[in-house]
Amino acid sequence: MPAPITIGGRDFRWGERTYVMGVVNVTPDSFSGDGLGGDVEAAVRQAVQMRDDGADIIDIGGESTRPGFAEVTAEDEMRRVIPVVERLAREFDIPISIDTYKAEVAKAALGAGARLVNDVNGFRRDPAIARVAAEAGVPAVAMHNQRGRDFSDTIGEIVSGLLESLRIAREAGLPEENIIVDPGFNFGWTDDQALEMLRRLKELRVLGRPILIGTSRKSTIGKVLGGLPVEERLEGTAATVAIAIANGADIVRVHDVKEMARVARMADAVVRAWTPEAPEP
């Protein structure tokens, strides 16, 4: 197992249990239907509920990454996320993550109190973001994004892309032991390829890094279940979360924290040989 990573003063010890990352979208156009626009109070309330429901990390995003999304400027993104990050960093006792691929936004969010950078382009679109994380001394998530890239082999493409992300990180001074990898479920893959990724997730252990995966409410789930809309994908998400854990996931990124924290605990009991606590005398 990879060595523990400290995020926001907390040690994340891989292999002991699965960690849950709760998603707070401060956007008007989130694919998952939970975008909160610029409503800081609503975002804080949602984050508080997620923490109480069992989230280990809260991931704040200010730009949708749905297929065909409209990019926003760094200034607009910061206007959405920084007030939320500041509030949560002051009031929370769990780490805050910033979901962005822009170095400028990451730097501002880290200055406001975020303690993890989550880049859906794995430092490959804006390599300066790896240097921002390195200079701040914080870990980062590098996701493989297949959108716009030629395809030959699902796991091969993911491993190759993430090795490139690790190379960029090293050159920027961001230690490999501070990197968490994400295969990018539904980011440029067909539904068959996304399911193959999940089925073969354990093969990413070759990278020697903790694995994060975000299947929550994704379109593949809706299609497999006969075209279900986003709001009816809870059970499908639960199935993918349990299978991801069985196949080696260390962190699951989810919208429905209470339900998926329970799924993770049950899956951990099976996968990690949970032992019930002794009853009190």
User: In which residue are the tokens 């070759």 written?
Assistant: 206
**3 state SS of 184:** coil
Can you tell me the distance from the alpha carbon of 183 to that of 214, in angstroms, rounded to the nearest whole number?
A: 9
| The total number of structural domains that make up the chain | 1
State both tokens at 170. Answer: 């090293």
Asked if residue 275 belongs to a domain, the reply is no
Can you tell me the distance from the alpha carbon of 135 to that of 115, in angstroms, rounded to the nearest whole number?
A: 12
Write out the catalytic residue numbers: 218, 253
Identify the domain containing residue 37 by its residue range: 5-270
Q: What 8-state DSSP symbol labels residue 71?
A: P
Asked if residue 70 belongs to a domain, the reply is yes
Average pLDDT over all residues of the chain: 92
Asked if residue 276 belongs to a domain, the reply is no
- Percent residues over pLDDT 90 in the chain: 83
Concatenate the DSSP letters of all residues of 1-29 into one string.
Answer: -PPPEEETTEEE-TTT--EEEEEEE-SS-
Distance separating the N- and C-terminal Cα atoms of the chain: 36
State both tokens at 127. Answer: 């390599």
Asked if residue 237 belongs to a domain, the reply is yes
Can you tell me the distance from the alpha carbon of 149 to that of 237, in angstroms, rounded to the nearest whole number?
A: 26
pTM of this structure: 0.92
Asked if residue 51 belongs to a domain, the reply is yes
Q: What is the model's pLDDT at position 194?
A: 95
Domain CATH number, residue 229: 3.20.20.20
- Percent residues over pLDDT 70 in the chain: 92
Asked if residue 278 belongs to a domain, the reply is no
Asked if residue 84 belongs to a domain, the reply is yes
Position 32 confidence tier, pLDDT thresholds 50, 70, 90: very low
* Span 196-223, pLDDT tens digits: 999 999 999 999 999 999 999 999 999 9
User: Number of helices and strands (H, E) in the chain?
Assistant: 9, 10
Can you tell me the distance from the alpha carbon of 13 to that of 55, in angstroms, rounded to the nearest whole number?
A: 15
* Span 97-125, pLDDT tens digits: 999 999 999 999 999 999 999 999 999 99
**3 state SS of 179:** strand
Q: What is the model's pLDDT at position 148?
A: 83
